[in-house]
Amino acid sequence: MPCQTSEELAELVSIAREVTKDGKIADYIPALGEADQGDLSVAIYHVENTCMSAGDIEKSFTLQSISKVLTLALVLMDHGESYVFDKVGMEPTGDPFNSIVKLETHENQRPLNPMINAGALAVTNMIKGSDKEEKLSRFLAFTKELTFNQDIKVCHEIASSEFENAWLNRSLCYFMKKDGIIDGDVEDLIDLYSKQCAVQMHSLDLAKIGAVFALDGKHPQTEKQIIPKDIARICKTFMVTCGMYNASGEFAIKVGIPAKSGVSGGIMGIVPYHFGIGIFGPSLDKKGNSIAGIKLLHLLSEKYELSIF
Ligand SMILES: NC(=O)CC[C@H](N)C(=O)O
C-alpha cells in the first residue's frame, strides 16, 4: 500500500528539521559520517495497516542500537527470561551507551541492561546458531518477518567500518569474557554485532516494527504472533527506561512513549495499540540521539497527546 504524505506531518517535519544544524553526525564509525546532516524523515504505521510519511523517506539508514531491541526479543524467545537475565541486568544507567566503567565498579559484574553496548553484546552472544553466519541469518529472518519485507539486508560498508574501529566494543567483550558473561570468539561476536547494527531499512520498515510492538507482538499485516506478548512487554519496558540512553528519563517526561534510538539517527517509537513510528535524522545531540527526531516526537506527542503516562 503506498504511503500518503500528510501535510500536517510534513509541516511538523519542517519545524523539526530546523534543529538539525545544532547537532552532529556520528563519525566514530567512519561510514556513518557520510550521511546528510539536514535529512529528516518520519513514517507512522497504524495497526489497521494504514500509513503516513513525510520528509526524506526515500533515504535508508542502519539500525545501530535499535537492533538491540530485536536481538533481545530473539534471545528471550531462544532461551527464556531467567537464562538471559542471569547474564544481563534490568536497570538503567546514567552512563553513555558505550561506557565500560560499571563493568568494573558495579558489585555484580553483569552489564546493567541490554540497551547499552555491554549488555547488547552479551545478548548477541546468546543468539542461537551453530556459527556467526547462522546467527546472522536467524536475526535477518526475524527482521524480515517483522518488517514484512524480504529485501532487508546488511549494509556491508557500514558493518566493515564498525568492525575495523570497534576497539571499545572489543574491550567490553574481553572484560565480560573474563567474568564469564560471554563465551566464544570475540572477533566472531564483534563481526556479528557490527552486521546486526548495520541492517539497513527505511522509516516505513521501522514504523512497521514499531506497530508489531504496539500490538503486543502481533503483526498487523499477517496477524501472526511473531513475539510472545510477555516478551514484547519486556522489550517495551526497556525502551521506556533505557531506550534513549542516558536521556531516557527526560524523554519519558517530555515525550512519554517507548522508543529506541541508534547513532545512525534512527528512532523507533511505539504508541501502544495505535501505531509505530519510524524516524531517521542523522544529526545527533550530545547524548547520541537524533536531535530533530526528538524534536519531532516532542511535537507529535504534544499535539496528539501521545504520552502513555
Ligand atoms: N548507540 C548506538 O547506536 C551504538 C551502536 C553502534 N553499532 C556501536 O556499538 O557503537
How many whole angstroms separate alpha carbon 259 and alpha carbon 267? 7
φ/ψ region of 225 (left if φ > 0, alpha if ψ in -120 to 50, else beta) reads beta
The residue whose CA is least distant from atom 4 of ligand 1 is 65
- Active-site position among 75, 186, 199, 263: 263
Alpha-carbon separation of residue 259 from 117, 126, 290 (angstroms): 17, 23, 12
Four-point Cα dihedral 224, 228, 229, 231, nearest 10: -140
Distance 120 CA to ligand 1 centre (A): 10
- CB of 13 closer than 8 Å to CB of 295: no
Ligand 1 mutation target, pool 24, 25, 28, 29, most atoms within 8 A of CB: 29
Catalytic site includes residue 68: yes
Phi, psi of 10 (to 5 degrees): -60, -35
Distance 303 CA to ligand 1 centre (A): 31
pLDDT at site 2: 39
How many whole angstroms separate alpha carbon 141 and alpha carbon 302? 36
In this structure, are strands 199-201 and 266-271 parallel, antiparallel, or unpaired?
A: unpaired
Per-residue pLDDT of the chain (309 residues; tens, 9 = 90+): 335 568 899 999 999 999 999 999 999 999 999 999 999 999 999 999 999 999 999 999 999 999 999 999 999 999 999 999 999 999 888 787 888 777 777 767 789 999 999 999 999 999 999 999 999 999 999 999 999 999 999 999 999 999 999 999 999 999 999 999 999 999 999 999 999 999 999 999 999 999 999 999 999 999 999 999 999 999 999 999 999 988 999 999 999 999 999 999 999 999 999 999 999 999 999 999 999 999 999 999 999 999 999
Binding-site residues, ligand 1, Cβ < 6 A: 64-65, 97-98, 117, 162, 169, 197, 262-263, 288
In this structure, are strands 4-5 and 51-55 parallel, antiparallel, or unpaired?
A: parallel
The ipTM, to two decimals, is: 0.97
Is residue 273 a known part of a binding site? no
Catalytic site includes residue 199: no
User: Per DSSP, which regions of 134-228 are E strands?
Assistant: 153-154, 199-201
Catalytic site includes residue 245: yes
Distance 169 CA to ligand 1 centre (A): 9
pLDDT at site 66: 98
Residue with cell 567474568: 179
- Active-site position among 65, 67, 161, 248: 65
Establish how many alpha carbons lie within 13 A of residue 231's alpha carbon, considering only the half-sphere containing its beta carbon: 23
How many whole angstroms separate alpha carbon 252 and alpha carbon 178? 35
pLDDT at site 161: 97
Catalytic site includes residue 273: no
Catalytic site includes residue 261: no
- pTM of the predicted protein model: 0.96
Segment holding 266, helix H or strand E: strand 266-271
Segment holding 298, helix H or strand E: helix 291-304
pLDDT at site 113: 94
Segment holding 55, helix H or strand E: strand 51-55
pLDDT at site 1: 39
**Extents of the domains making up the chain:** 4-63+201-303, 66-198
> What fold does the segment set 66-198 form as a domain?
Probable Glutaminase Ybgj; Chain: A, domain 2 (1.10.1500)
Is residue 98 a known part of a binding site? no
pLDDT at site 98: 81
Q: For the structural domain made of 4-63+201-303, what CATH number should be given?
A: 3.40.710.10
